[in-house]
Amino acid sequence: MGARRNPDVRRHRFGTALVYRLQPEPVETTAPDTPAPTPVSADKIKRFLHVLVEPRSYLNALYLLTAFPLALTYFLVLIVGAISGAFLSIVGIGLLVLLATLVAAWGFALFERELVIALLGVNVPPLSLPDPELVSPWRMLVRHLRQPATWRSLVYLLLKLPFGIFASLLSGALLGASVGGMIFTLVRLNTDGASGIPTLVFPGLFAFAGLALSLHVLNAVARAWGRFAGDMLGVGEEQRQVWEARRKAEVADRSRRELIMNVSHELRTPIASIQAHVDSLLLPEADRPDAAESERRLRVTAAETRRLADLIEDLLMLARADSDELKVSNRAIEVAPIVEQVILALAPLARAERHVTLTHEDLPPDLWAVGDADRLAQVLTNLVRNAINYTPEGGVVSVRLSAGGAGHVQIAVSDTGPGISADDLVHIFERFYRADTSRARDTGGFGLGLSIARELLEAMGGSLSATSQPGLGSTFWISLRRADH
């Protein structure tokens, strides 16, 4: 066996040299490449047999087995009704018969839709969309006849007869052969005892595999028919989009009306207070209050003016949120300094104004989240201030910062106040809702703070929730996405 020289180009400091190296010549062989045998994967067998333990497989088979008797019932009622109505139309009763047939078709379509949803597991749109308008039965009938879904469902009911014949025969043949083989195997084993063990292989094992194969075939047929039913038994996508747009417009209009009513109610009290105090200061000098009383009334007027300014600012922020113009600058922020800054700012006020202790546990360092630092401080200030206002004298408000599960950062603001009832807890994030209206003047709120806080946190990709037990206090939970830093 000889050797050959292959050129090997090597680069040196002063240029490129061509160096020859000896390499053995490849040995030619005539032996064929025999691929290694590929055994059947256990996962494929498992997936193939898993159909035997899926409840959906048997629900699909039940639908296909009952397809023919149901389809025959639909067909006979509709055809007999249509023919009878046509013949009897000359005496005037035919129209009533045709109307009854149409009502029966609508009822069959509703029943078939529920059957497809329950047995085939298909998400079928509704046959008609809700209409808030109250109309006469005649107009309702005319509207019903104009809907494309009405005629699509009628075609579906008529087409189900040939499908029902095919589906019932197919499912009966496949399942009958498989189940018959399994029953025969059990009978032979019971009769022959140990001598009938070979029966487990044939026909027992073949019948077992045949049942799995039959269920796979029936599942494929059921899925195809389920897609067809979803297209025929529901309203169209375009109609759903129009209805959804109209529904959103109605909700927005109702929300605007409620907002105007609530704002009018909230504005009435501070404006009336400002007007009364200013009018008293404009009285003739003889009837004007003394200097101390005048100063007190001026302070009340100034406080009410600030409340009006806060209300206007809140309303502007809600308007921006409704128009998707609520801007936040999301970036990676360290949470502990923000929490500490809010606590240092509010702790002296809590002690001086409410005799409430504001505490915090050790704030874990280097805990970063995705959010807007200024907006987060605004939300946290609102929550802590609410907790202070609703905590009786001598109570405690605590703030905790921790790493939540699933890549989140949590801030908890807890108080020792009276708590919130379960009925109020589900509404506290609604606009203008206040759980304790008797304290509205004391706290100075309009019922917008929590709604705005949730809007801001959702704009940051986070969430706001609350838990409470009456008599034991409340806890508000801020959750933000954790950021890699």
158-195 residue pLDDT tens: 999 999 999 999 999 998 888 887 777 777 767 765 45
Rounded to 10°, the helix 449-459/291-322 angle is: 40
**Predicted local distance difference test score (pLDDT) of residue 96:** 86
**What letters, b where the CB count within 10 A reaches 16 and e where it falls short, cover 186-218?**
eebbeeeeeebeebeeebbeebbbbbbebbeeb
User: How do the residues of the chain divide into helix, strand and coil, expressed in percent and rounded to 5?
Assistant: 65, 15, 25
CA distances from 85 to 48, 71, 78, 144 (A): 52, 21, 10, 19
Q: Which of 261-265, 295-299, 307-311 is predicted most confidently?
A: 295-299
Out of 117-131, 191-205, 303-317, pick the least confident: 191-205
Out of 167-171, 238-242, 342-346, 381-385, pick the least confident: 238-242
| Alpha-carbon span 126 to 461, nearest angstrom | 33
| Alpha-carbon span 410 to 397, nearest angstrom | 17
CA distances from 208 to 33, 168, 173, 326 (A): 38, 21, 15, 62
CA distances from 101 to 67, 85, 115 (A): 21, 8, 21
Q: In the chain, list all ranges with CATH 1.10.287.130.
A: 255-322
The amino acid present at 153, given as its one-letter code, is S
Reported as a pLDDT band with limits 50, 70 and 90, residue 237 is: low
- 283's tokens: 């009285």
Over the stretch 107-158, which tens digit does the pLDDT of each residue have? Answer: 999 999 999 999 999 888 887 766 655 556 667 777 777 788 888 889 999 9
CA distances from 381 to 16, 101, 344, 387 (A): 73, 66, 11, 10
Reported as a pLDDT band with limits 50, 70 and 90, residue 201 is: low
**What letters, b where the CB count within 10 A reaches 16 and e where it falls short, cover 322-357?**
eeeebebebeebebbebbeebbeebbeebeeebebb
Q: In the chain, list all ranges with CATH 3.30.565.10.
A: 331-481
Query: Pairing state of beta strands 396-404 and 357-360?
Result: parallel
pLDDT of residue 304 exceeding 70, the answer is yes
Please give the order of strands across the beta sheet that includes 396-404: 357-360, 396-404, 408-415, 473-481, 463-469
Task: Collapse the DSSP code of 319 into the 3-class scheme (helix H, G, I; strand E, B; otherwise coil) and give the result.
Answer: helix
Beta strands in 211-300 (DSSP E): none
Neighbouring C-beta atoms of residue 438, cutoff 10 Å: 7
For domain 331-481, the CATH architecture is 2-Layer Sandwich (3.30)
pLDDT of residue 242 exceeding 70, the answer is no
The one-character DSSP state at 72 is H
User: Kind and range of the H or E element at 370?
Assistant: strand 368-371
Predicted TM-score (pTM) of this structure: 0.47
**What letters, b where the CB count within 10 A reaches 16 and e where it falls short, cover 464-482?**
bebebeeeebbbbbbbbbb
| Alpha-carbon span 218 to 58, nearest angstrom | 9
Phi, psi of 126 (to 5 degrees): -65, 155
| Mean pLDDT of all residues belonging to the chain | 79
The one-character DSSP state at 361 is P
Neighbouring C-beta atoms of residue 408, cutoff 10 Å: 17
Out of 55-59, 360-364, 409-413, pick the least confident: 360-364
**255-322 has which fold?**
Helix Hairpins (1.10.287)
- Residues 440, 446, 452, 453, Cα dihedral to 10°: -20
pLDDT of residue 428 exceeding 60, the answer is yes
Percent of the chain with pLDDT over 90: 26
Neighbouring C-beta atoms of residue 314, cutoff 10 Å: 19
| Alpha-carbon span 5 to 380, nearest angstrom | 79
Average pLDDT over residues 31-44: 55
